[in-house]
Amino acid sequence: MNSGDSAGEFFLVTNPEFSGSPPRRAPPPIPDSISMPTPSAPVFAPSPVVSTVSRSESFDSTQVQELTVDDIEDFEDDDDLEEVNSLKISRRNPNDVGDLMLKLPSFATGITDDDLRETAYEILLACAGASGGLIVPSREKKKDKRSKLMKKLGRSKNENIVAQSQNASGLVGLLETMRVQMEISEAMDIRTRQGLLNALSGKVGKRMDTLLIPLELLCCISRTEFSDKKAYIRWQKRQLNMLAEGLVNHPAVGFGESGRKTSEFRILLAKVEESEAFPPSTGEVQRTESLKSLRDIALPLAERPARGDLTGEVCHWADGYHLNVGLYEKLLVSVFDVLDEGKLTEEVEEILELLKSTWRVLGITETIHYTCYAWILFRQYVITSEQGILRHAIDQLKKIPLKEQRGPQERLHLKSLHVRVDGEEGSRDVSFLQSFLSPIQKWADKQLGDYHLNFAEGSMVMEDIVTVAMIVRRLLLEESDIPVQSSTVSDRDQIELYISSSVKNSFARILQAVDKSDTMDEHPLALLAEEVKKLLKKDSTMFMPILCRRHPHATIVSASLLHKFYGNKLKPFVDSAEHLTEDVVSVFPAADNLEQYILDLIKSACEGENVEIHFRKLNPYQIESVSGTVVMRWINSQLGRIVGWVERTLQQERWDPISPQQRHGSSIVEVYRIVEETVDQFFGIKVPMRLTELNALFRGIDNAFQVYANHIVDNLASKDDLIPPLPVLTRYRREAGIKAFVKKELFDSRLPDQRRSININVLTTPTLCVQLNTLYYAINQLNKLEDSIWEHWTRKMPIEKIYIRKSMDDKSKCSTQKGTFDGSRKDINAAIDRIREFTGTKIIFWDLREPFIENLYKPSVSQSRLETVIEPLDVELNQLCDIIVEPLRDRVVTSLLQASLEGLLRVLLDGGPSRVFYPTDAKLLEEDLEILKEFFISGGDGLPRGVVENQVARVRLVVKLHGLETRELVEDLRSSSGKLGADNQTLLRILCHRADSEASQFVKKQYKIPKSSA
């Protein structure tokens, strides 16, 4: 406790390394004479202080002792070190650096990192002393030192720990910075400086850095300079161990045949150590004699030439491998800010320049320096995760010269640096570069082998780690003397290994997460596909841009691997899929979507290359093929149901109009309802489909409408059954017309027709009209149905799919567009044509047979004119027009016109023996033809005049022929010239019905036509 201005402040003097077990007694009580005022200034937390005083003085005393300025002198600046240690522990990131352990064997003497650090500092002082920069600091101004201590104890952690060195300049200030950075107490620093200066006195022309430092310090520093005997023993043990390691265990120059000297050397080291166990007088004598003998052996060994130097030019005691790199590492660590280990200290450049002065003593070359420094920086990055440190490490790795860039002496020197280490594969020789770079490579490979996990938060660090891995790989490949084609090829192979390993690990994690998930609504394979797609998206945006710089096909490798991994899980499910289940509907779309995304990635990564080469390496999921088979089974079952429904609805159809506005049958509405339901169900199936399945749906629907149309037509009687058979062709006989008429009617016409009509089921005109309306509705709605299906398909397949294997779909796609219902269109149109022709024929030859076919122009034209037929014909026409839909009206009425003209031609050319015509009848016939024509034109409300004129033209020619003289007809028939515009059969029939003896005689002679009486 301090009784000065800072009364009430306590300073604990403890260091676990030297303090032994914790005190068993209670802490000392506060003296009654000291009051504890409430401090007006902030009270700083007590800071542990490292002490060099003896344990008996600091802990074993029973008296309450006050901490005075004199005591602080003994502590020196050890308080700095303890505060630094405390801050370091609090700031250190717990990142594991186990993989970065150097591939170097341990030291036989058991020297520790602290031993190496302290010896490294002694070497640094000696090298600085060689340039005349070594002075011993004054111990005066203790009051100022106390103030300095109190200031340090109360300063913020953000202040620089080496602030006290800012007042110093040059080498002196830099050495003070190094002292604090390397955690060396001021007492040790002063002892070492004084010892080195004492060792150099009397050695004229000797440089301080050529001294055998441990031996010289043993000789020049006595026990009395240590307040703690244990500290002295530890210090002496360190110096002896360093001599053993530097000259015996790891000598820069081998002993050759001086094995005896080695044993002697070890014995002398042991004697020096044992001297402390003897009484002071005896021990000092043994120590002095042993050190003298040790000098006689050690100096000649240390001053032997090596690496091209002259005898005595360099003292080779600390440059043996691997002791030298262990010491140099401790020097390099001083470049880090002790309060922020993730940053380099401001004096880093000056420190590195100062460290070059140690290269001669430690046997450090440029390659060794850059390699050690890169490893130090990289290890620090792993501890702190500061990317700035990583960038510095990369800079140092890039500076490591390749073999051809090193000088011949350095190449030989580096070749000699190797150690034998025990590993998992047994004992093996490891070179210097392998010792330092292999751990870096191992760590980088481990991180990059699961980059999805290790760099999930940022890709910038990954880019730097990839750079580290590639640089180190190149250096180690060169070091191993294994011939490789080129670094680019090796880099690509390594990148593929990283991708393969990381993708495999990521997929395994996703698989495990999916297995543990409790999602009941989605099949695990569907969920897995979604997660894999997310992984690919992250992969392509975060990681692939980095890896593609070293492997152009990195994206393809990653996507192909995930395609394979998911495919392996998917295959058993696909192979077992036979029907459209909920699982199939869940998994197939997700799997197909994933495959399409993968193919898109590969295609975009090809950049003009032949993508088929990469596609052929993939094993396609066959989703569309299997899905197509499953969907086809469903389509076939549905289409069979549609056809059955069509047949049932037709059986129940009564062919009554649904309403005055809807003049079609109800069956077609039912057919369309079930077809549309099937189409909706088809597009409601959320599984991948091809045009093959769509075409099957089209064909099935097409067939259903063909069945519908053909079923209607099949129940229709033949048009020929409605037309009575033609009477026997006879020639005119005078006064036999009536007899022939009666005879032919009885035996040739009516009786056979009546017998035939018994077996004919002739539909009514309204029924036929409803059938026509129904067929028209069918074909009209068919266009809308086709457009709707294609619209659904376009929405279902909005983008051009990529196929791993070319299929027939590519060939059929162009032809499979509009026109998919051509078969049903053709059959429905044919059915409409047949029914309307049948309707016209039925009205004329069946409904109006008696007034039209049998009685018109009997017994003569003048006695039975066409006017008698117009009225019943008008009734039939009105009935037809009342039912038929407007778009079909003209077509159906045209059929009635054609049937009427056919009936008129039947009467004029094949009217039978009861009908005879005179040339004078032609005028009456022309009038009747005009009546029939105007009836169908109906003053412009009926058929177009041009249509009617074209139809009537054929009959008009026959009427004209009836008005010609017999001679003209005979001459044209004989010559077969066709001048009259008629064929021979027409001319012959006109002559047979001509009431003229000349005509009768001609046909008798030329054609053997029997007389009508026959």
The per-residue pLDDT for 489 is 55
CA dist 665 and 647 (Å) reads 14
Do 969 and 931 lie in one domain? The reply is yes
881 part of a folded domain: yes
Residue 27 lies in a domain: yes
| Mean pLDDT on 141-152 | 41
CA dist 540 and 343 (Å) reads 33
**Taking 80 as the threshold, does the pLDDT of residue 599 lie above it?**
yes
802 shares its domain with 855? no
Claim to verify: residue 708 and residue 790 sit in the same structural domain: yes
pLDDT exceeds 70 at position 573: yes
Query: At 569, which helix (H) or strand (E)?
Result: helix 554-576
Q: Are residues 514 and 430 in the same domain?
A: no
For residue 298, what pLDDT is reported? 85
CA-wise closest residue to 667 among 687, 682, 646: 646
**Count of beta carbons in the 10 Å neighbourhood of residue 519:** 10
Cis bond upstream, residue 413 (ω within 30) = no
Question: Which three-class secondary structure state does DSSP give residue 297?
Answer: helix
In this prediction, residue 759 has a pLDDT band, given cuts at 50, 70 and 90, of low
Considering the domain boundaries, does residue 448 fall inside one? yes
Whether the Cβ atoms of residue 239 and residue 217 lie closer than 8 Å to each other: yes
In three-state form (DSSP H/G/I as H, E/B as E, the rest C), the secondary structure along 433-479 is HHHHHHHHHHHHHHHHCCHHHHCCCCCHHHHHHHHHHHHHHHHHHHH
Cβ(339)–Cβ(158) below 8 Å: yes
CA–CA separation, 766 and 764 (whole Å): 6
Residue tagged 């569907």 (tokens): 526
- Residue 644 and residue 583 share a domain: no
Geometric angle at alpha carbon 389, from 397 and 393, rounded to 5°: 5
Token pair for 201: 């006195």
62 and 41 in a common domain: yes
Q: Which of 455, 482, 509 lies at the terminal end of a domain, its last residue?
A: 482
Lowest mean pLDDT among 61-65, 365-369, 414-418: 61-65
Length of the chain: 1014
In this predicted structure, what is the pLDDT of residue 318? Answer: 86
Confidence of residue 139 (pLDDT cuts 50, 70, 90): low
Prior bond of 859 cis (ω within 30°): yes
Q: DSSP string spanning 327-368?
A: HHHHHHGGGB-SS-TTSB-TTHHHHHHHHGGGHHHHT--HHH
Taking only the tens place, the pLDDT of each residue in 513-531 is 998 887 777 899 999 999 9
- The burial of 1005, by beta-carbon neighbours within 10 Å (0-12 exposed, 13-18 middle, 19 or more buried), is given as exposed
pLDDT at 158: 41
pLDDT tens figures, 722-755:
899 988 888 887 654 444 443 343 334 443 444 3
Q: How many CB atoms lie within 10 A of CB 632?
A: 15
pLDDT of residue 38: 35
Contact 316, 248 (CB under 8 A): no
Question: Residues 402, 407, 411, CA angle at the centre, nearest 5°?
Answer: 70
Angle, CA of 986, 987 and 989, to the nearest 5°: 65
Q: Mean pLDDT, to the nearest integer, of 636-659?
A: 90
Q: Which of 451, 634, 486, 658 is nearest to 558 (CA)?
A: 451
Do 525 and 476 share a structural domain?
no
pLDDT tens, residue by residue, 464-483: 999 999 999 999 888 776 55
Among 61, 379, 335, which Cα is nearest to 177's? 335
Rounded to whole angstroms, the Cα distance separating 82 from 95 reads 23
Q: Position of tokens 């609504």? A: 521
Q: Are residues 561 and 416 in the same domain?
A: no
pLDDT, mean of residues 763-783: 93
Q: For residue 756, what are its two tokens?
A: 């035939």
124 pLDDT higher than 80: yes
Domain finish residue from 589, 604, 621: 621
pLDDT digits (tens, 9 = 90+) for 341-382: 888 998 999 999 999 999 999 989 999 999 999 999 999 999
Q: Are 463 and 434 within one domain?
A: yes
Average pLDDT over residues 849-858: 92
428 forms bridges with which residues in the sheet? 421
The alpha carbon of residue 163 and the mean position of all alpha carbons in its chain are separated, in whole angstroms, by 54
Residue 358 CA to residue 356 CA, distance in Å, equals 5
Please provide the average confidence, as pLDDT, over all residues in the chain: 81
Q: Within a domain: residue 773?
A: yes
| For residue 166, pLDDT beyond 70 | no
Indicate the pLDDT class of residue 222, thresholds 50, 70 and 90. confident
Q: Does 450 have pLDDT greater than 90? A: yes
Q: Is residue 946 part of a domain?
A: yes
Q: Are residues 856 and 904 in the same domain?
A: yes
Q: Are residues 786 and 802 in the same domain?
A: yes
pLDDT attached to residue 511: 93
Which ranges in 685-728 belong to alpha helices (H)? 691-714, 719-722
Domain total in the chain: 5
Full residue range of the structural domain in which residue 939 is found: 737-753+850-1007
Q: Per-residue pLDDT tens for 945-1001?
A: 999 999 999 999 999 999 999 999 999 998 888 888 889 999 999 999 998 888 888
Which neighbouring-strand residues pair with 419?
430
Q: What angle do CA 331, 337, 343 make, to 5 degrees?
A: 110
User: Based on the domain organization, do 996 and 866 belong to the same domain?
Assistant: yes
User: So what's the pLDDT on residue 1013?
Assistant: 57
Q: CATH code at 970?
A: 1.20.58.1970
Q: Output the pLDDT for position 760.
A: 63
Crossing angle of helices 229-244 and 259-274, rounded to 10°: 180
Q: How many CB atoms lie within 10 A of CB 911?
A: 22
SS3 262: helix
Res. 608: pLDDT tops 70: no
> Does residue 348 form part of some domain?
no
- Listed residue (180, 125, 134) closest to 361, CA to CA: 125
Question: Looking up tokens 């909706």, which residue turns up?
Answer: 680
Confidence of residue 265 (pLDDT cuts 50, 70, 90): confident
- Could you tell me the pLDDT band of residue 104, with boundaries at 50, 70 and 90? confident
Q: Is residue 82 part of a domain?
A: no
Of 596, 621, 646, at which residue does a domain stop?
Answer: 621
Q: Is 724 domain-assigned?
A: no
Place of tokens 């660090």: 461
